[in-house]
Amino acid sequence: MEAGLLGRKVGMTQLFDESGEVVPVTVIEAGPCHVLQIRTVERDGYEAVQLGFDDKARRLASRSERGHVAQLESKRAKLRAGAPLVPKAGCEPKRFIREIRGSADGVEVGQEIRVDIFSDCAAVDVIGTSKGRGTAGAMKRHNFRGQRASHGVKKVHRHVGSIGQSAYPSRVLKGHRMAGRYGNARTTMRNLKVVKVDAENNLLLVRGAVPGPNGGYVVIRKTNKVG
């Protein structure tokens, strides 16, 4: 399968490399993940591997969540007798479930996938949900420059400037950047250098920042950036 894994952002710190240079790193608790399902072209129309990360207490999981990961006793089992059984992972219900696109060669349902799949990988992409900032002005949201502090500017120092012209188009173009909801959106950080893979403690250290708060879930995959 394509190298991909689910994890949790632990936090940032810094390390020293061989030359004594400081390297900023993000610590990600990556895996172990169970393969919950395999998507095939015949059945689903596309190929992917579904992974689950972080156990959820059974009492908190719904019956469908429990049934997704393990074979449950069912009253209607007799009625369905003869129908082929879908393979189940046979693990605890999971909190965070995502699919990694790509062929499922060499992967079986129930298999455990660990960080060592990244051990010969130079760089990864990390996908997470960025920190929500609520309603934010155009300066914070779009890095606009705002207006001057003096020279006749009154009470509009952090405002956007003109948003359109009078004769043409005499309306505001669609998609014009303004203030509004900022953050809490799927964000991908591409081509983050892998600093260290700690298979023993299921840790992945990447250079630089990763979207989301500490404790937030992330998807890690081998980078799709070429060159």
Partner 1 sequence: MSQDIMNLVEKASMRDEPPEFEIGDTVDVHTRILEGEKERIQIFNGVVIARRGAGTRETFTVRRIVQGEGVERTFPLHSPRIAKVEVKRSGVVRRAKLYFLRDRVGKAVRLRERRVDRRKSKEEAQK
Q: How far is CA 108 from the centre of its chain?
A: 23
Q: Per-residue x/- mask for partner 1, residues 5 to 24, rule CB under 8 A?
A: -----xx-xxxx--xx-x--
Residue from the set 1, 5, 6, 27 that interacts with partner 1 by CB under 8 A: 27
Q: Which strands form 112-113's sheet, in the order they lie side by side? A: 94-101, 48-55, 33-39, 112-113
Task: Give the Cα separation of 22 and 27 in Å (integer).
Answer: 15
53 binds partner 1 (CB under 8 A): no
Contacts of 45 (CB under 8 A, 6+ apart): none
Query: Please, which residue, 5 or 104, has the CB nearer to partner 1?
Result: 5
Tokens 């689910």 locate to 6
Query: Please, which residue, 6 or 25, has the CB nearer to partner 1?
Result: 25
Nearest Cα to Cα of residue 222 among 117, 129, 98, 128: 117
Task: Give the Cα separation of 69 and 97 in Å (integer).
Answer: 11
CB of 2 to partner 1, least distance (A): 27
CB of 20 to partner 1, least distance (A): 4
Binders of partner 1: how many residues, by CB under 8 A? 18
Residue from the set 1, 117, 127, 205 that interacts with partner 1 by CB under 8 A: 205
Q: Return residues touching partner 1 (CB under 8 A).
A: 10-11, 13-16, 19-20, 22, 25, 27, 29, 198, 201, 203, 205, 214-215
